[in-house]
Amino acid sequence: MNGRLTTTGMIMTAMMLLPGCGDRGIEPPKSPVTTETNPGATDTRSIHPPPAVRDRLRIQPATLRSIPELVTAPGEVALDLKQVAKITSRIAGQVEQIHVQLGDRVKKGQPLVAIGSLQLDQLIEEYLVGKAQADVAENSFRRTEKLRTDDIVTEHKLIEDKGRYIETQARFQHVREKLLNMGISTVELTQLEQGRHDKGHQYTLTAPIAGTVVVQNAVRGQGVAPGDELFEIVDTSRIWVFASLPIEQARKFKEGDSGTITPRGGEAITAPLTYIAPMADETTRTIRVRFEVANLKGQLKPREYVEVALTLSSPPLLAVPLSALTTVDRVRGLFIEGESGYTFVPVDTGREGGDWVEIRQGVKVGDPVVVEGVFDLKNVLLKEHIGSGE
């Protein structure tokens, strides 16, 4: 009996002790507290470069300045259509003489080709006959006017002679206009009237503009019809450059603004913006713009591709040279000179243009910024971090 009670007491004592032991057994171990750091990006300690590095540094204060916004687009050179002339025949005939050939530079009024034509000969004959008839009718009318003043002839005679005079003059002027429209000059018509025309059935087409012959379709003996294109002359001393801009960018510009045209391997040329399309392209939803470019040296060739650039001015912004910016541990910033050394400062940047960059946050006006030797300072900063075991 006593043995049974003793055993029961031991069991109850063990059960009272087990809960305490169980609580201590399941208590989770305390984890050590850890923090993530980025010493290169946020470290504000000053670094002290050696004299050789300091000698290569250049300091410039952060300042307020206008940073132009640069808008670029591919462009294509085209002919100025006012500088293009197609020379066509206005009468049927045959090429009898060619005065120029492909590639020749011509002046305005220079002879290009002489065409012989029986049709022209007929018109010249009509012109000479009409001129003679008009002169006779005019003399008759003037004489009748004087006789009518003296009451020698009747009013009916005066009216008949006046009508005949008007009719012959109209017929003569009609033939004259035909010849002028075909390229016969007034000097040549005067020579015809004076009987000094010695060119047979030929008439000469001349250059309407100065330029270069870029198309030649005429050869000697060739038959031509009215409208046949014989030559094309272009003047590339002034050309057009077209580009397409997104609608939101095109709205920022107006006619008269200046742009820069840069050919591949060539020098940039400044030119005025002379045309902004009133409608967007149906496919690309872009606005076509045009520049008129002085091309006196012929550096731009029609149909070549160029780079077009336009700039927009801005109000004064806090800015530093682009050369001052660097990246440390994937953080963009710059170095500020202080009394105890140089400090890397992360910054928030904005607009870039003209080798300058806007600083929205990180520095203030007048802060001494390192603008040359930044790479050397970055190397010193990284070496100090490695040496400190960070």
Report the pLDDT value the prediction gives residue 106, as an integer from 0 to 100.
Answer: 97
- Total-model pTM: 0.62
Position 173 pLDDT exceeds 70: yes
Report the pLDDT value the prediction gives residue 123, as an integer from 0 to 100.
Answer: 87
The tokens describing 79, both together, are: 């002919």
Report the pLDDT value the prediction gives residue 390, as an integer from 0 to 100.
Answer: 54
- Of the given ranges (5-9, 230-234, 247-251, 354-358), which has the lowest mean pLDDT? 5-9
pLDDT mean across residues, the chain: 85
Position 231 pLDDT exceeds 50: yes
Report the pLDDT value the prediction gives residue 22, as an integer from 0 to 100.
Answer: 41
Position 84 pLDDT exceeds 90: yes
- Of the given ranges (5-19, 186-200, 330-344), which has the lowest mean pLDDT? 5-19
Report the pLDDT value the prediction gives residue 241, as an integer from 0 to 100.
Answer: 98
The pLDDT tens digits for 253-283 are 999 999 999 999 889 999 999 999 999 999 9
The pLDDT tens digits for 370-387 are 999 999 999 988 887 666
CA distances from 239 to 211, 281, 297, 303 (A): 13, 23, 12, 11
The pLDDT tens digits for 297-333 are 889 999 999 999 998 877 898 999 999 999 998 899 9
Better pLDDT: 15 or 322: 322
Residues 6+ apart with CB under 8 A from 115: 89, 91, 93, 94, 95, 96, 202, 203, 204, 205, 224
Q: Which CATH architecture group holds 43-68+316-388?
A: Beta Barrel (2.40)
Position 12 pLDDT exceeds 80: no
The tokens describing 314, both together, are: 């801005």
Question: What is the rounded average pLDDT of the residues 7-17?
Answer: 44
- Which CATH number does the domain 71-81+235-311 belong to among 3.30.360.10, 2.30.110.10, 3.60.9.10, 2.40.30.170? 2.40.30.170
Position 11 pLDDT exceeds 60: no
Name the amino acid, one letter, at 286: T
Per DSSP bridges, beta strands 229-234 and 317-321 are unpaired
The pLDDT tens digits for 280-297 are 999 999 999 999 999 988
Query: Could you tell me what percentage of the chain is helix, strand and coil, using 3-state DSSP and rounding each to the nearest 5?
Result: 30, 35, 35
Position 35 pLDDT exceeds 80: no
Question: What is the rounded average pLDDT of the residues 91-114?
Answer: 94
